[in-house]
Amino acid sequence: MIMQFPENLKSAQFHFVGVKGTGMTALAEILVRAGARVSGSDVPDIFYTDKILSSLGIVVHEEFSEKNLPQGDTTVIYSAAYNPATNPELLEATRRNLAVFSYPEALGALSRTMVSAGIAGVHGKTTTTAMAGSIMAQASFPATILAGSAVASFGDRCTLSLGSRYFIAETCEYRRHFLHFSPSVIALTSVEPDHQDYYPTYDSILEAFVEYGHRLPHGGTFIYCHDDPGARKAAERIREDRQDLNFIPYGFSASGEFALQSSRQEEGRTAFALSLFSEEFILHVPGKHLVLDAVAAIALCVTLFRREYPQATEQELRQFLLSARAALSGFKGSRRRSEVIGEAGGVLILDDYGHHPTAIKATLEGIKAFWPSRRLIVDFMSHTYSRTRALLDSFAESLTPADAVVLHKIYPSARETPDPELSGRTIYEKAKKLPKQWSFLLYTEEPIDALDQLIPLLKPGDLFVTMGAGDNWKLGRALFETLTERTK
């Protein structure tokens, strides 16, 4: 059954259960911008989204009660953190026979109100979405964009509302959530083993992306990274049954308009050129892998531009590409994606969400090339026992671009049982056995416990990055505050 939102969003009432979550707040903001009335509930803890919700005028009840549901016809949207069988508001919604959507179902319903583009992949989807939104903002293109993290060029929010004709959204593969989405265009950055608690084999996760590609309508467009073996394999599998689709490859090994002709990295910037355009694009964020994300964003935006303006001249396309060039040159990244926390005591501190070995290594190599004169110290915290177990050797090897490493316990997931035979120290022991000559290699169970040990080891000119999907980002901020205080 295809779930639909009310036909007229301007007169609709929505209630969000777990409204403070990043994606939930972003979706609530989009609906407010569309004219809907929105209320919500959540725990009383303070999140960065509290300020956003307050600025939108959304009333947030800091407890869960059936009394929080507005009277009359209300569409209820709930976070995956809450169970419809036990949450009092969701139970009341069922009793009143109200329309109830999970977050992925709601995102899918929203996608059916516009011409939608879904950005997917094990790596790179947040940055690609953020870059696409930045390009569309520069070009004043009538689109709404939803990324999985706050973006500097979105006013440090996850959403950007430029119009309601097109919808560009980051779409997640976990538990096949993206199969609720109804795209006309898909951009696929990568396919690799991940989420081993749900996808036990590579074939199982590949099949999910293939199934997503099959959701494209007749004449839809599938953009994919030709350099990524998994994305290329997904495209081949989809093409077997869907020769009606338009397939657009991009990357260094690709042919066609979005083939990378050149790419060079210099201190503080990366320049690259495409077959489609005579001028170089410039990025001021680190990483060769971000060049591929940028090309994916360009390919997606050009596809939508051509859909909106089918009679556009070569000069008009050139103007659009010049806008894209300006947007990418000014792109400052998104929250927890090579995010610069600050510099104190001569130590530059970054934070990055990379939590898969491929992403970790690519990000560290990019950072190293971007700041070649700095010693690179990486603080890494692995996320989930299932991922750590499946990729254990790769995790240790992925850290080798760093000059020094700090490791901690595994950051667990509520959806799995801890493994007593596996810990963060296991990665530490693996790293010790590598031929790499570390400046230093530390292990502390809790991230914050490393603070006092790091202070005498760090030197002016160093670059310290916290990496992973755990809570070790707190160490980077504590380090910045401590070094700032000491230099006063």
Look at the block and give the residue holding tokens 């199969």. Answer: 179
pLDDT band at 385 (very low <50, low <70, confident <90, very high): confident
Which residues, 6 or more positions from 203, have their beta carbon under 8 angstroms from its beta carbon?
none
pLDDT band at 1 (very low <50, low <70, confident <90, very high): low
Judging by beta carbons within 10 Å of its beta carbon (0-12, 13-18, 19+), is residue 164 exposed, middle or buried? middle
Q: What is the mean pLDDT of the chain?
A: 90
Q: What is the CA radius of gyration of the chain?
A: 23
Which pLDDT score is estimated for 333? 67
Q: Is the pLDDT of residue 334 over 80?
A: no
pTM of the model: 0.78
d(CA 11, CA 417): 45
What is the length of the chain? 488
Percent of the chain with pLDDT over 70: 97
Which pLDDT score is estimated for 2? 76
Q: Which of 288, 273, 292, 261 is nearest to 189 (CA)?
A: 292
Which residues, 6 or more positions from 439, have their beta carbon under 8 angstroms from its beta carbon?
375, 377, 403, 404
Judging by beta carbons within 10 Å of its beta carbon (0-12, 13-18, 19+), is residue 285 exposed, middle or buried? buried
Which pLDDT score is estimated for 423? 80
Judge whether 399 and 378 are in contact, CB under 8 Å: yes
Q: Out of 159-168, 207-216, 468-477, which region has the weakest mean confidence (pLDDT)? A: 468-477
Look at the block and give the residue holding tokens 């979005």. Answer: 258
Highest averaged pLDDT of the listed ranges 245-254, 418-427, 440-449: 245-254
Q: Is the pLDDT of residue 117 over 90?
A: yes
Which pLDDT score is estimated for 412? 79
pLDDT band at 156 (very low <50, low <70, confident <90, very high): confident
Highest averaged pLDDT of the listed ranges 42-56, 101-115, 282-296, 343-357: 101-115
Looking at per-residue confidence, does 265 or 400 come out higher? 400
Which pLDDT score is estimated for 176? 86
Q: Is the pLDDT of residue 165 over 80?
A: yes
List of domains in the chain: 9-103 (3.40.50.720), 114-329 (3.40.1190.10), 339-486 (3.90.190.20)
Q: What is the largest CA-CA distance in the chain?
A: 67
Q: Out of 322-331, 334-343, 432-441, 462-471, which region has the weakest mean confidence (pLDDT)? A: 334-343
Looking at per-residue confidence, does 412 or 144 come out higher? 144
| 3-state per-residue secondary structure call for the chain | CCCCCCCCHHHCEEEEECCCCHHHHHHHHHHHHCCCEEEEECCCCCCCHHHHHHHCCCEEECCCCHHHCCCCCCEEEECCCCCCCCCHHHHHHHHCCCEEEEHHHHHHHHHCCCEEEEEECCCCHHHHHHHHHHHHHHCCCCEEEEEEEEEHHHCCEEEEECCCCEEEEECCCHHHHHHHCCCCEEEECCCCCCCCCCCCCHHHHHHHHHHHHCCCCCCCEEEEECCCHHHHHHHHHHHHHCCCCEEEEEECCCCCCCEEEEEEEECCEEEEEECCCCCCEEECCCCHHHHHHHHHHHHHHHHHHHHHCCCCCHHHHHHHHHHHHHHHHCCCCECCECEEEEEECCEEEEEECCCCHHHHHHHHHHHHHHCCCCCEEEEECCECHHHHHHCHHHHHHHCCCCCEEEECCCECCCCCCCCCCCCHHHHHHHHHCCCCCCCCEEECCCHHHHHHHHHHHCCCCCEEEEECCCCCHHHHHHHHHHHHHHCC
Q: Is the pLDDT of residue 210 over 90?
A: yes
d(CA 377, CA 283): 23
Please name the amino acid found at residue 390: A
Judge whether 276 and 321 are in contact, CB under 8 Å: yes
Looking at per-residue confidence, does 289 or 461 come out higher? 461
171 Rama class: left (phi>0) / alpha (psi -120 to 50) / beta: beta
Q: Is the pLDDT of residue 214 over 90?
A: yes
For 195-207, the pLDDT digits (tens) are 667 678 989 999 9
Which pLDDT score is estimated for 132? 97
Judge whether 115 and 168 are in contact, CB under 8 Å: no
pLDDT band at 194 (very low <50, low <70, confident <90, very high): confident
Q: Out of 14-28, 168-182, 401-415, which region has the weakest mean confidence (pLDDT)? A: 401-415
For 132-146, the pLDDT digits (tens) are 999 999 999 999 999
For 220-275, the pLDDT digits (tens) are 999 999 999 999 999 999 999 999 999 999 999 999 999 999 998 877 788 999 99
